[in-house]
Amino acid sequence: MTAPGATASTLAGAAAPPPAGPVVDRSSPVPLWSQVTDDLRRRMAAGEFEEHFPTEAELGRAYGVSRQTVREALRRLSEDGLLVRERGRGTSLAPPQLEQPLHALYSLARSVTDRGWTEHSVVRAQRVEPAGERGALLDLAADAPVLALERLRYADGQPLALDRSWLPADLAPALAHADLSTGSVYDHLAARCGVRVTGGWEVIRPRNPSPDERRLLELPRPEAIFRVERLARAGTRPVEYRISHIRGDRYAFRAEWAGNA
């Protein structure tokens, strides 16, 4: 006896139709991979994959497309910085990216908190040592004392940057034993030493991280980093020379300009 609602194909052993879900329009001139890419982008923006990102096989079944189509869609999303694909670990959402405008003096700590994230630093070094070759940049003799700092900077619990700074020791004596685990060095300089940073220069270069930098920053392979070299001044006096290594997958610099009228 045939069960109510049963069809001949079901009785013959054919697979039941897949559950309702994402669809692609095969009559559209838009390539299937592009349709899948756009729909995944929409679903990611809606927070749909925060707990788990589907496997290639799961996406192929959901969209009714080939694995090659799925791989092309994921490749495009990965190139756009939205996904992280690692051999043996599958695909996951990329950590949110911080975009830093370049038109004015900025602080990484303030940029992080302005985004609504929590920030803190692990202070790896905080000592007084001779300025050495950095003395020339700080208008100091090579044997003049400087405060050397090394901090691993975190945003929402994930490592974002590795900073190494050198400050004239006579300018920032209160920082030699201060708690620098939160906040900006510039804020500490202003509050504890009465020194306010007013300007400076910065040079940004991409490069491949060393094995130690990759480990500390917990970088997925094969991500690059930004090397940011900075000299900060209070008036005309140099007050900090810094080299920062910042994760390229979590940070972007944005320059703005206006055309001539």
Residue 19: band (very low, low, confident or very high) from pLDDT cuts 50, 70, 90: very low
Domain architecture of the chain: domains with CATH: 18-93 (1.10.10.10), 98-254 (3.40.1410.10)
Average pLDDT over residues 179-183: 95
243 forms beta bridges with 164, 229
Residue 13 scores a pLDDT above 50? no
118 burial level (CB within 10 Å; 0-12, 13-18, 19+): exposed
pLDDT number for residue 93: 80
**For residues 219 and 209, is the Cβ–Cβ distance under 8 A?**
yes
What is the spatial distance between Cα 192 and Cα 4, in angstroms, rounded to a whole number? 81
Residue 236: how many CB atoms within 10 A of its CB?
8
pLDDT digits (tens, 9 = 90+) for 163-180: 999 999 999 899 999 999
Could you tell me the pTM of the whole model? 0.67
| Average pLDDT of the chain, as a whole number | 86
CA 248, 178, 234 angle in degrees (round to 5)? 70
What is the spatial distance between Cα 245 and Cα 117, in angstroms, rounded to a whole number? 20
**Strand spans (E) along 188-236:** 199-207, 225-234
pLDDT digits (tens, 9 = 90+) for 42-81: 998 888 888 889 999 999 999 999 999 999 999 888 877 7
Amino acid in the structure at residue 229 = E
